Amino acid sequence: MDLLAANLLSPIVLAFLLGAVAGLIRSELELPDPVLKLLSIYLLLSIGLKGGVELSRASLAEVGGLLAAAVALTVAIPCIAFLVLRRLGRIDPANAAAVAAHYGSVSSVTFLAAMTFSSAMGTPAAGYMTAVVAIMEWGVIVALVLGRWSLGREGGAMGVTALAAETLRGRGVLLLSGGMAIGLLAGERGWEQISPVYDDLFRGVLMIFLLEMGMSAARQLRAFAQVGVFMTGFAIVMPVVNGLLGVALGSLAGLGTGGAFVLGAVCASASYIDAPAACRAALPQANPGIYLTASLGVTFPFNMLAGLPLYYQFAAWLSG
């Protein structure tokens, strides 16, 4: 309960709740699309830059186990999600693949909230956790290839290549990977030159972005009936299973409480920025009302309000 209270009273969660209230009462408050795109670019580039600088400080022995776990999770999570949706939920292949793509990819905002939460609890995670986020963005390709195979389409080299190109064009992979490369090459000296913009202002910008995420989540809740009972349960249970699995693997990889917790939060998150664009291009017959409502309307609020304290408690228990 103390962890839950600490999470609910943090500025970024309160900003999210304010946005949710604004959306539910149909407030006139709104942020223009160009502003949202600018905030998104700033946040993703900041994550990448910080991660690159942290990677420049770390050795391969330090991060090798973590990166191997990230690759395994990138394949396992979308495959498990797809099988659960097809076998238990009886969801058609296109919608099952689209939902699995969202849960196989990651939410950068949830990652940022987890990093902030771990720091507030006195167990900050290393900045090179950004590398995990960049790797796990590729989970969307695994899910979409499964969808194409299940639909009986050609899943040969050209199909996979086209999916990879579509993912690379997304802002998430491009900015995270490019930012990491810049941070890695620039190192500590280069970071000192830009830290006033990408470090000091970061949490304030994140609060504004979460205000909009709260309004978006409230709007998606109006489409709750489209998701159905099974999908609602899936959007809550699947993140918990993925989160606990990520925490356990993080502990096995040698991460401390903060690092294992952040890995769990990343595994529990669901994308709602880059994955929708990829799904619209690769699976146009999939229903956005299902995958967007599940990821943004159910999973994201659950993680922000209750999931993060749960994953942190499990990480703290595993570390003794």
CATH class of 30-318: mainly alpha
Q: Between helices 139-150 and 274-282, what is the axis angle to 10°?
A: 20
**What letters, b where the CB count within 10 A reaches 16 and e where it falls short, cover 271-287?**
bbbbbbbbbeebbeebb
Q: What is the pLDDT of residues 178-190, one digit of tens each?
A: 888 898 888 888 8
Radius of gyration of the chain (CA): 18
Query: pLDDT value at position 318?
Result: 92
Q: What is the pLDDT of residues 242-292, one digit of tens each?
A: 999 999 999 988 888 999 999 999 999 998 776 776 777 677 788 877 888
Domain range list for the chain:
30-318
How many whole angstroms separate alpha carbon 211 and alpha carbon 221? Answer: 16
| Cβ neighbours of residue 24 closer than 8 Å, sequence gap 6 or more | 218, 221
How many whole angstroms separate alpha carbon 176 and alpha carbon 167? Answer: 12
For 35, the token pair is: 């502003």
CA atoms within 13 A on the CB side of 127: 20
User: Is 80 exceeded by the pLDDT of residue 51?
Assistant: no
CA angle centred on 246, ends 234 and 144, rounded to 5°? 55
Q: What is the pLDDT of residues 107-143, one digit of tens each?
A: 888 998 899 899 888 899 887 788 788 788 778 878 8
On whether the CB atoms of residues 48 and 183 are closer than 8 A, the answer is yes
How many whole angstroms separate alpha carbon 33 and alpha carbon 46? Answer: 20
Residue type, 64: G
User: Is 50 exceeded by the pLDDT of residue 306?
Assistant: yes
Q: Between helices 108-120 and 202-221, what is the axis angle to 10°?
A: 120
CA atoms within 13 A on the CB side of 266: 33
Residue 154: which pLDDT band, with cuts at 50, 70 and 90?
A: very low
Query: pLDDT value at position 116?
Result: 87
User: Is 50 exceeded by the pLDDT of residue 155?
Assistant: no
